[in-house]
């Protein structure tokens, strides 16, 4: 009767939209009403059957007869980062997950599953992805997740790690295919944020009791032929820039020479000084060249 009264109080609180206070936040999340996303309906609120009550009484009698030897097999220690989901006769016990601390359970009747609440990393296998500009690349990624609801992580999903890995693989392929190759190479951080936001918006891991904390793109591999093509393209671009820089230098040199020629043409003495400077430069070098200076006026008359 006491169990039925407690159930009635829970129903009244649920209808009023209230929840019972609890010191442990994880236990508080687990003691909420059944989530609409849950596929497996739990039966912790249903009364025990007569056969279950008989086996429970026999278990207590056996513990009483074998006391104190049997009492040492009825305790388990949960670490601060662990919670225990207890099943009695295969049915979830009311009260949510247990821990941390000492856990009391009945051998042969109760079964408990340890759940680690710490953040876990999952390596996403390399994925061959076709980008938006029809280029095939291989992308590596790492997913960090943690258990947010131990009950759902045990009851609603068979292998949380594999499910999280496959979901990350699918999301990675879908989102990466919308990027151009140059965008994919230059913006790995934005791609990681985009994948994380997509997983948060869809809330795909909430029914499993998981929370994806971070997604990181570790590396992007391109085919060797594509790498050679990109290297040739970059080399051709650098050569084109070098030719443009050389042409600009020649243009500036020609402009400077033209300005110098204009100045020398306006002043014959400046031309003679430049001529003598050139002779001085030639004479300082070790050479067998003989230079015979001739006046420009004489040469011009001979040409005419």
Q: Dump pLDDT digits (tens) for 129-148.
A: 888 888 888 898 999 999 99
Q: What is the pLDDT of residue 11?
A: 53
DSSP string, 192-212: HHHHHHHHHHHTTTGGGTEEE
Q: What is the pLDDT of residue 192?
A: 87
Average of per-residue pLDDT values in the chain: 79
Q: What is the pLDDT of residue 304?
A: 61
Q: What is the pLDDT of residue 7?
A: 42
Q: What Å distances lie between residue 304 and 73, 253, 298, CA to CA? A: 125, 32, 10
Q: What Å distances lie between residue 117 and 80, 82, 93, 210, CA to CA? A: 9, 6, 20, 10
Q: What is the pLDDT of residue 85?
A: 93
Q: What is the pLDDT of residue 144?
A: 94
Q: What is the pLDDT of residue 301?
A: 65
Q: Delineate the domains of the chain, giving CATH numbers in brackets.
A: 2-116 (no CATH), 120-222 (3.30.479.30), 227-303 (no CATH)
Q: What is the pLDDT of residue 147?
A: 93
What residues of the chain score a pLDDT lower than 50?
Answer: 1-9, 12-13, 15-35
Q: What is the pLDDT of residue 17?
A: 44
Q: What is the pLDDT of residue 24?
A: 43
Q: What Å distances lie between residue 38 and 18, 41, 49, 150, 208, CA to CA? A: 21, 7, 24, 13, 8
């Amino acid at each position: 009767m006491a169990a039925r009264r407690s159930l009635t109080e829970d129903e009244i609180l649920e209808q009023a939209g209230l929840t019972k206070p609890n010191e442990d936040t994880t236990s508080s999340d687990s003691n909420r009403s059944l989530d609409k996303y849950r596929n497996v309906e739990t039966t912790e609120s249903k009364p025990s059957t007569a056969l279950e009550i008989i086996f429970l009484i026999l278990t207590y009698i056996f513990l009483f007869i074998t006391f104190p030897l049997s009492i040492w097999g009825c305790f388990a220690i949960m670490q601060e980062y662990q919670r225990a989901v207890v099943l009695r006769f295969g049915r979830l016990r009311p009260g949510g997950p247990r821990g941390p601390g000492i856990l009391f359970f009945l051998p042969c009747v109760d079964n408990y599953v340890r759940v680690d609440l710490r953040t876990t990393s999952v390596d996403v296998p390399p994925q061959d992805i076709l980008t938006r500009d029809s280029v095939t690349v291989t992308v590596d990624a790492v997913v960090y997740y943690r258990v947010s609801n131990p009950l759902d992580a045990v009851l609603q999903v068979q292998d949380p790690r594999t499910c999280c890995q496959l979901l990350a693989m699918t999301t990675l392929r879908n989102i990466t295919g919308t990027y151009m190759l140059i965008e994919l190479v230059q913006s790995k951080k934005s791609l990681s944020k985009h994948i994380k936001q997509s997983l948060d918006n869809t809330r795909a891991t909430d029914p499993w009791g998981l929370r994806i904390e971070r997604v990181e793109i570790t590396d992007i591999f391109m085919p060797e032929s594509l790498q050679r093509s990109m290297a040739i393209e970059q080399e051709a671009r650098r050569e084109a820039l070098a030719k443009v820089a050389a042409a600009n230098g020649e243009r500036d040199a020609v402009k400077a020479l033209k300005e110098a020629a204009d100045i020398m043409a306006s002043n014959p003495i400046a031309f003679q000084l430049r001529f003598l400077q050139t002779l001085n430069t030639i004479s300082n070098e070790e050479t067998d060249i003989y230079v015979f200076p001739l006046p420009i006026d004489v040469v011009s008359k001979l040409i005419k």
